[in-house]
Amino acid sequence: MGFRLTLISAVILSGAFGGGLSYLNSGGSVGAVGDVTASARSMFRNTLRKFDSRYYTRGPDYGICVADYGRSALGKTNAEITLACECFDKSLRILGSTDRKSALAALQPRAPVPGGQAGDQLATLHTTAPARAVLRKCGINPTTAGILSMRGTM
């Protein structure tokens, strides 16, 4: 009984001492207890999500996809472009460096060949088989034209 009583009193005493110190040292920057615990909880969750493979966070390849593919995706909504680029970003993480560079190069608009025909840009595009598989899986068609622009946007 003596050990239990000592342990319970130590916990209560340390809680009272810590609470008293935080009350005396609190300034205007310390919020309510709910605010402090909510920020600590979200920080803990975000840290654990980094180790969870089911939780997706956008990588740098997502931004490249939206910038390059999004400009040339005619007839696609923003939601379709977002889903395609998220699929592209997730799938690109498992490719090697050569296949990754090839898939990223397939998204970039080609400059038209001087004096060439409309389909000549495809001849300069060398995409590896794994990169083509990723593009096909995500429903992304490599662009064959130059940079598209709308009046007043570029």
**92-144 per-position pLDDT tens digit:** 888 888 888 888 888 876 655 566 555 544 444 567 888 889 989 988 887 65
Counting the structural domains of the chain, the total is 1
Band of residue 42 on the pLDDT scale cut at 50, 70, 90: confident
For the chain, give the percent of residues with pLDDT over 70: 68
Give CA 8 to chain center in angstroms: 47
CA distance 4 to 89: 55
Q: Is residue 91 part of a domain?
A: yes
Q: What mean pLDDT is predicted for residues 59-70? A: 85
Q: Is residue 81 part of a domain?
A: yes
> Which residues have CB under 8 Å from 91's CB, separation 6+?
134, 137, 138
pTM of the model: 0.55
Q: Is residue 41 part of a domain?
A: no
Q: Is residue 151 part of a domain?
A: no
Q: What mean pLDDT is predicted for residues 34-63? A: 76
The pLDDT assigned to 26 comes to 60
Cβ 145 vs Cβ 111: under 8 Å: no
Q: Is residue 144 part of a domain?
A: no
* Tokens found for residue 54: 């089911």
Q: Is residue 21 part of a domain?
A: no
Q: What mean pLDDT is predicted for residues 27-50? A: 69
Q: Is residue 85 part of a domain?
A: yes
Band of residue 4 on the pLDDT scale cut at 50, 70, 90: confident
Q: Is residue 30 part of a domain?
A: no
Which residue range is the domain that position 81 belongs to? Answer: 60-110+121-138
